[in-house]
Amino acid sequence: MGCGLEYGSMGPGRAMSATGSASVADVIASLTRKVADFPKPGILFNDLTPLFADGDAMGAVTDALAEIASGADLVAGIDSRGFLVAAAVAARLRTGVLAVRKGGKLPPPVYAEHYDLEYGSATLEIPAGGIELTGRRVVIIDDVLATGGTLAAASRLLERAGADVTGVAVVVELTALGGREAIAPLPVHSLSRV
């Protein structure tokens, strides 16, 4: 239970409460901590820590994302908050999970993809050995979609490794930042749009 609201799995997109039902989007909104000017001035940071720490909310988010990702045979999570959700979804679907790491965390050999951030640049990596990705149907999961640069880079990385990326799914989509357009034509599924 969190924020005085009770909820649990009640099918796609809905969560049960003691007095009725709340949409998963409402549950996400009620358990998101919005922090102005973090990590840089002008950024409104969506901190999902309270959501992840709430068992019923995490269950509802996992159910909804698992429904979106059904049909995938591998779920990829983005370093680092994406790992939490992707692992939960993979366990629910009984697929494997692949951690898409920030640069420099994995031993060689790796596939690496560089991309631009609002300020500066970053690198994502996956192993180039030990895991066969050719022809695997992969859904990529992250906590928040902002400009889309991170998920677009992750998608390029997996495609280079031979995977068939069928879509991306996020808990929160920040619509004003145009991430969906940056990732097109790859389908983007979001549980809440703010």
Task: Give contact residues for ligand AMP (rule: CB under 6 A).
Answer: 43-46, 78, 81, 142-150, 174, 179
| Strands 164-173 vs 137-145: parallel, antiparallel or unpaired | parallel
Q: How far is CA 170 from CA 42, 77, 132, 180, in A?
A: 22, 10, 25, 11
- Whose Cβ is closer to ligand AMP: residue 64's or residue 146's? 146
Beta-bridge partners for 165:
138
Beta-bridge partners for 137:
164
Is residue 113 part of the annotated active site? The answer reads no
Nearest approach in angstroms of CB 119 to ligand AMP is: 11
Nearest approach in angstroms of CB 53 to ligand AMP is: 16
- Whose Cβ is closer to ligand AMP: residue 37's or residue 132's? 37
Which one of the listed residues 6, 14, 67, 118 is annotated catalytic? 118
Is residue 156 part of the annotated active site? The answer reads no
Nearest approach in angstroms of CB 54 to ligand AMP is: 18
- Whose Cβ is closer to ligand AMP: residue 14's or residue 157's? 157
Beta-bridge partners for 127:
110
Summary count for the chain: helices (H), strands (E): 6, 11
CA 150 to chain centre: 11
Q: Known catalytic residues?
A: 81, 118
